[in-house]
Amino acid sequence: MRRYAFAGGTAVVTGAGSGIGEALSHGLADRGSHLVLVDQHADRLDRVAAAVRDRHPGLRVDVVVADLADHDATVALGTRLAAEHPETTLLVNNAGTTVGGELAELSLAEVDRVLEVDLRAVVSLTHGLLPVLLADPGAHVVVVSSIFGIFAAPGQVPYVTAKFGVRGFAEALRHELAGRVGVTVVHPGGIATRIAVDAPVATGADRAAFDVTRARVGRLLRITPADAAEAILRGVERRRGRVLIGWVTARFPDLLVRALPGAYGRVLGAFAGSPLDPRRP
């Protein structure tokens, strides 16, 4: 496929109210894309939209407040976006959430919320917009997975399950749509976003221990959302099937998992002072 053309296209971005989604919104606008921004936080969404409009008054910027944890509402949203924005040429499935704690400490409701936002919403929105995207031979889909879609960390079972799932979804979809619609799966590592700050702790978990873990892991989050967004947009333009962001926190673990698929956990734990194990202070 030819390179993706941003200028004049319309991009739907989920999780646009902060972090990578906010940075992607600005990066897409800088490249001439009209925007449909989706987030559950109206105040954050309005702030991002206002900033983009102020900088790019000639672009269309629409906002949609939606909680992607509501399955029926998300399915309806996909249908609505396709009807209201048939000009869409890019879908960026960026929204995500997590919850800290071991599986035995989590309620099924907590597990389901992560799976709904991080996995099912990606499938639902992509399915809803796919007819529109297929109508444009230059269209593209982005699925933001995680480094936890490459290696599995304890204390993050729902998140890991979802991120491995969207990785498989994106790769299978890329093969199905080859030559018609491009698909990029993104594996960010060590991005300084709100997800680690906002993550709730499991109902049955030790909150004090979790806060210690959160602080330790937070020290690894050194890549700015703006840098991550630029890497993603370069990958989209070049139709790359996979984008890894961060050498120490993404590329090195990816190589290690390939080399030691059954033993990478012990090696990564020793290498990084055991950030893989949230149970350790």
Q: Report the 3 state secondary structure along 184-240.
A: EEEEECCECCCHHHHCCECCCCCHHHHHHHHHHHHCCCCECHHHHHHHHHHHHHCCC
Q: How many CB atoms lie within 10 A of CB 129?
A: 24
Strand bridging mode 140-144 / 182-188: parallel
In 3D space, the residue among 170, 169, 86, 93 whose CA is nearest the CA of residue 131 turns out to be: 86
Tracing tokens 């799966």 back to the chain, one arrives at 185
Torsions phi, psi of 39, nearest 5?
A: -165, 160
Q: Please confirm, yes or no, whether 159 is among the known catalytic residues.
A: yes
Q: Name the DSSP class of 100.
A: B
Angle at 142 between CA 268 and CA 71, to 5 degrees: 95
Q: How many CB atoms lie within 10 A of CB 43?
A: 9
Tracing tokens 């190589």 back to the chain, one arrives at 255
Q: Which of 159, 169, 210, 264 is catalytic?
A: 159
Alpha-carbon distances, residue 171 vs 228, 237, 243 (angstroms): 20, 18, 12
Is the CB of residue 34 less than 8 Å from the CB of residue 108?
no
| Residues annotated as part of the active site | 159
